[in-house]
Structure formats: C-alpha cells, structure tokens
Amino acid sequence: MIINSPQPKILIVDDDPAICQLISRFFSYNNYHIESAADVRTARQLFQKLSPDLAILDVNLPDESGFSLCKEIRQTGTLVLMLTCMTDTNYVLEGFEQGADDYLTKPFNLEILKAKIAALLKRRDGGEVNLNTPNNCITIDELTIDPNRCEVTLNQEVLPLTSLEFELLYFLATHPNRVWERSDLISAVWGDHHEITVERKVDVHIGQIRKKINDLQGQRIKTIRGRGYMFEQSQSE
C-alpha cells in the first residue's frame, strides 16, 4: 500500500528479487520509503501512485529497456540512477543520453549507492552546489536559468534538464567568455572522485544541454577545439 510520508521516496525497478530485497531493507533501515517493481509495466503503475523522488533502474527488464523508462521518468523531473551490470562505456553513455543523473554498475556497495542517492537529492534541493556565485537568475534572450528553483526555461517553457545538466549549464553561464577544460568542469560540477569515462560524460551532457536550450549549432555553448567549452555572452547581455 502506498502511503504519504515525509521520507524520501525511492522506486526500484529490477527483475532480480534479491537485489530489490537487499536495497529495500537497507534503505528502509536508513529512513527511506521504498517500493519495487520487476518490470516496466508495474513500474509505471507504482510511479503514478508513489510520485518518487528518485528511481533506481536496471537496464535489462523483461518487457522494455530500462533506458526507455529512464527517458520517460526524467521528463517528469524525477531523479534517475541507473543500476546495472552493463559496464561497457557505450551503455554508460547511453544512460546519460537518456537523462540518467548517475550510473552505478553491479556488483555494488550499498554505502556507495546510499552516498550517490543522498548527493543527488541534496543537489536537487540546492543543498550543495559548488558554483561560488550569487543565487541570482540569469536571463539571456528568452533563456532563464533560476538557481533557486534549479529550473531552466526557454520562452517561458520549463526545460527537462537533469540535475547535472543544470549544474553544468549554470556553472558555464556564471563564468562566461572563458574556456573551461573538461577536467576543470569535472572538478567544479562533479567533484574529483569520478570514473575515467567522466570526461566523455561532459561531452554527452553538453550535447543534451544544447538540444534542450535550442543551441544545436553551438552559438551559445561553444566547443573550443582541443581545449574544452566556453559559454559566450556579450557585454550587453
């Protein structure tokens, strides 16, 4: 039975009952409200009833791919962490392309999973963003970046950016007209403790941001060949 609770709500979607039980027991003990589903159809039903803060998704599910469910869930603004045995870089990048906020491979450590989820929830709530800039909205033409709501709008329409995409865009926008190497962006936005493939994640996230803010030609977020990225802003803006 779904109940209203002040606890953070997590939906686990995995067809391995042992994984679901392990995560459920651990997070219930740590004061989270947990529901689990073994397939996408059940997950959709539970999602509507629970309105979770975060979903933990496997990739290989009996009826549909976890990647498609990830994209669907992220459109609602719910955080998504992919938890799968798929370790190939292409799968990791596919997860981020579909909107995943983080990606963890099996076998996994429960404490690391807990830390990742806590960090995502804290980031969503504006608890810890290493930007070192005032909490002021940035408005450029029809684009508005609001750090207080962690929200980006284009022509007054809210864009479905992930929490990491928001942080990356906000960091670049608040440090305009300067070239940032990927390693600098990693330190500023992700922190220093990430996998080797994280530099490729920067490229994936930049690509997704460009699509969402209608900057496919890179007129606003410029690629500086051999160096990194720059958010271009004229003096009149």
The candidate with the shortest Cα–Cα distance to 145, out of 195, 199, 220, is 220
Between 231 and 131, name the one with better pLDDT: 231
pLDDT tens digits for range 58-99: 999 999 989 999 989 988 889 999 998 887 878 888 888 888
Residue 2 has pLDDT above 60, yes or no: no
Residue 171 has pLDDT above 70, yes or no: yes
As given in the structure block, the two tokens for residue 120 are 């995502």
pLDDT tens digits for range 114-158: 888 887 887 776 544 333 334 467 888 888 888 777 788 888 888
Between the alpha carbon of residue 138 and those of residues 15, 170, 237, the distances in Å are: 43, 9, 10
Are 128 and 108 a contacting pair, CB within 8 Å?
no
Residue 165 has pLDDT above 90, yes or no: no
Omega cis (within 30) before 107? yes
CATH numbers and ranges of domains, the chain: 9-124 (3.40.50.2300), 138-231 (1.10.10.10)
The average pLDDT across 216-225 equals 85
At which residue do the structure tokens 């929200």 appear?
A: 151
pLDDT tens digits for range 4-57: 446 889 999 999 999 999 999 989 888 899 999 999 999 999 999 999 999 999
Between 17 and 189, name the one with better pLDDT: 17
pLDDT tens digits for range 110-126: 888 888 888 788 777 65
Torsion of CA 13, 164, 7, 136, to 10 degrees: -150
Q: What is the rounded radius of gyration, in angstroms, for the C-alpha atoms of the chain?
A: 18
Are 139 and 120 a contacting pair, CB within 8 Å?
no
If one counts every other C-beta atom within 10 angstroms of the C-beta of residue 135, the result is: 10
- Supply the pLDDT for residue 4: 45
- Give the H/E segment covering residue 172: helix 163-174
Residue 172 has pLDDT above 60, yes or no: yes
Residue 222 has pLDDT above 60, yes or no: yes
